[in-house]
Structures are given as C-alpha cells and as structure tokens.
Amino acid sequence: MTKKWILIAVIAALFGGVAYTSSEDCASWLTGTTDEKLDTLACIQPGLGTVMIEYSNRMGNMYYAAQAGNWGMAAYQLKEAVEIQEVGETTRPSKAPLLINFEETSLKPLAQSIVDQDWDSFQMHFNIMVNACNACHVATGHRYIVYQLPDQPLVPAKLDTGQTFTREELEQILSDLLE
Ligand code: HEC
C-alpha cells in the first residue's frame, strides 16, 4: 500500500468508528419487555461483595482520619459507609437484619466516639467493630474473609489538616446514624 492509501484507510477506519459509536444507542443492550428490562437492571446492581469493598475502604479511611485528629473526615467516612451499607440492605434483603444489627451495635458507638473526639474510645470501638465484621463473615459462610486494618488509608486526601471541629458539626454529619 502506498502512503496515500494507508492514509485513506486510516481516515475510513476513524470515520467508520465514529459512525458506529454515534449510531449505537447507549442502552441498546437493554432489550425485552419493560419487566424484563427492569429485571436486567436489578440484576446488575451492586451486591454485598461490591458494597463491602467500598465499606472496608471507608473504615480504613475513617480510622486514619480519626488518628490524625480529622474528626470531620472520620465522621464523613462513617456516614458514607452507612450509605453504601444501605445499598447492600436493599439489593440483598436476606442480609438486611444482620447489617441493621451491626449498625446498631458496632457503628453507633463509633459515631459517639467520633462526636466526642475521643481517640481511646474510638480505638476500642474500632477493634470491637472489626471483630463484629469478621463474625458476620463467619455467620454468612465466608470465614475466609478476615478484614484487617490496612497499613495506610486509601483516600487520596490530606488527613492531618490541623482543623478543629465542634460537637454540633460532627453531630450534623452523623445525624442519620445518631438519631
Ligand atoms: C451482614 C454481615 C456482614 C457484615 C456486618 C460485614 N460483612 Fe463484609 N461481607 C459479608 C458478606 C456476605 C460478604 C461476601 C459478599 C458476597 O458474597 O457477595 C462480605 C465480603 C467482604 C469483603 C470481601 C469483598 C471482596 O469481594 O473483595 C470485605 C473486604 C469485607 N466484607 C469487609 C467488611 C468489613 C470491613 C466489615 C465491617 C466494617 C464488614 N465486612 C461487615 C457480610 C458482612
């Protein structure tokens, strides 16, 4: 092929590609009756495995934020963890009672330690929580999943910001959990 033909071939491929993607409806994979489409959508919602990855990342972030004295960030991470847990309660209703119980017995005391900005109490309740996480893995037939605090937080944010927080501010962030 000459250079001219190679160029024409490349242009044709590029435009062909553009034409292909622009004519493809982004939901073209969603077929069948409305009920079938809803079933397809329901089946691709995140289950507990996906939820748990975010859940555990947030727990590590919360720990290191609290250690750095960034109680606002610790409160935020816990609030977000509860939100993703609620996704799990919805998509895996058989696990909802265990998750709600875990929230009551393990997460509420942690929320209280955060509002009190009490590092000793936080550490104690964090350890109790980790045992409860792993007890639930055993109870649900996943004894090989043993959570442990990572060496570093995953969040790409500065944690030792030197900021101070009022009790009201922290209560506000954690209001759903504390109510
Ligand atoms: C309702 C009981 C329950 C509680 C409470 C619970 N987990 Fe899980 N966790 C599960 C189940 C069930 C799975 C397996 C999910 C699946 O099979 O889809 C899992 C999976 C995991 C995984 C593996 C995720 C993956 O696929 O890579 C991690 C990590 C994890 N949990 C961490 C935690 C942490 C951290 C806590 C506490 C903060 C916690 N879990 C609390 C039930 C629980």
Q: Is the CB of 107 under 6 A from ligand 1?
A: no
Give the model's pLDDT for residue 103.
97
pLDDT at residue 23 is higher than 80: no
Separation CA 49–CA 26 (nearest Å) = 26
- Is residue 97 left, alpha or beta, with left meaning phi > 0 and alpha meaning psi from -120 to 50? alpha
CA distances in angstroms from 137 to 55, 61, 144, listed in the order given? 14, 21, 8
What's the whole-model pTM score?
A: 0.87
The per-residue pLDDT for range 106-146, each reduced to its tens digit, is: 999 999 999 999 999 999 999 999 999 999 999 999 999 99
Q: Tell me which residue has its CA closest to atom 41 in ligand 1.
A: 133
Length of the chain: 179
Q: Is the CB of 147 under 6 A from ligand 1?
A: yes
Residues in contact with 80: Cβ distance below 8 Å, sequence separation at least 6, in sequence order: 58
The per-residue pLDDT for range 27-40, each reduced to its tens digit, is: 889 999 999 999 99
Residues in contact with 156: Cβ distance below 8 Å, sequence separation at least 6, in sequence order: none
